[in-house]
Amino acid sequence: MTLPIVDLHCDLLSYLAKVPAANPYSKDDIACAIPFLKAGGVRMQVLAIYTDVNPDSMKLASKQADIFQGLLEKNPLDLNFAGPEFLANWKSQNNVGVIASVENAAGFGNEAATIEEIKAQFDSILEKTKKLAYISLTHHTENRFGGGNYTDGIGLKEDGKRLLDYMAGKKIPVDLSHSSDLLAEGIFSYIDAEKLDIPIIASHSNFREIWNHRRNLTDEFAKEIIFRRGIIGVNFLRAFLDTEVPERLFDHILHGFHIGGKKAMCFGADFFYTKDFGDPSRIPFYFPIAENSSKYPSLLDHLENELDEQELANLAYKNALDFYNNLWK
């Protein structure tokens, strides 16, 4: 089935920033290379600015924001900026629309940065990228803002609250995909208590009910995102689907629909550069049915007997398109 695709997460920018001689067209290096995006009908791709928690995190985030600018300037025949104008003319687009996000707020501020330096870095990245599709406060580990997926007993910290305060009203969602359960709970509670205007999404997360991994969402958090009219992007990584059963990807998608996510479910494939990854147990990172961005039409074909035409369109692009059109109107 051929439908336009919105994908909420890939790591093309960090690949281009870190790997010598990296090339956005190299299909041998990264599963979200531009030829794969075009072959899969991807009309909008979120490009994450990803950093670890280290002293150079701010420098690396700035570098990726510069690379984002450069991608648009150097590849006008293939890429457009996926801002409000792009979305308003959705049906007439021929190029892949790209927009940046921030995966790990350590990119705004390393552990030594002052709050004023964090705000200045935030403003600088936002100016370079023009818009941000979302911000994740953490990655897997703890930082000054809160606890990541693989931390226990660490929730929303004071600097996390300050960052949420600064995000409020800027039409940038906060992303729960790398939050500890305690951090996710803290984000919901703080936004409600302070009445902050911040949407909440999960850009690249699966469901713990289907595969019991702490990287996946509990149904409680998923239903809360759905209730708040957020979106949830299904992740294609084998480790978060089911390490043995490729078809579990479809179970995650259908579970999202079954718990009320008809207008929330999206794709968030999480394709990244894997050749420098140190854990051999993760190989292969993706099952063949979802191994690169060209696979979206065949994935939709697999779901034709499970979802009706409207639900397939919602999953492919419409839920994400509606979310961002409503956010930016």
CB-based contacts of 308, cutoff 8 Å, min separation 6: none
Q: Are 222 and 235 in contact (CB under 8 A)?
A: no
Statement: residue 279 has pLDDT above 90: no
Range scoring the smallest mean pLDDT among 91-105, 202-216, 271-285 = 271-285
d(CA 51, CA 321): 27
Tens digits of per-residue pLDDT, 172-188? 999 999 999 999 999 99
pLDDT band at 318 (very low <50, low <70, confident <90, very high): very high
> What 3-state DSSP class applies to 8?
strand
Q: Are 299 and 289 in contact (CB under 8 A)?
A: yes
Q: How far is CA 108 from CA 95, 124, 200, in A?
A: 30, 9, 19
Residue whose entry in the numeric block shows the structure tokens 């928690």? 53
Domains and CATH numbers, the chain: 5-328 (3.20.20.140)
Range scoring the smallest mean pLDDT among 76-85, 198-207, 271-280 = 271-280
The mean pLDDT of the chain is 98
Average pLDDT over residues 153-163: 98
- What does the block give as tokens for 222? 């998923």
Average pLDDT over residues 58-87: 98
Average pLDDT over residues 136-141: 98
pLDDT band at 111 (very low <50, low <70, confident <90, very high): very high
Statement: residue 25 has pLDDT above 90: yes
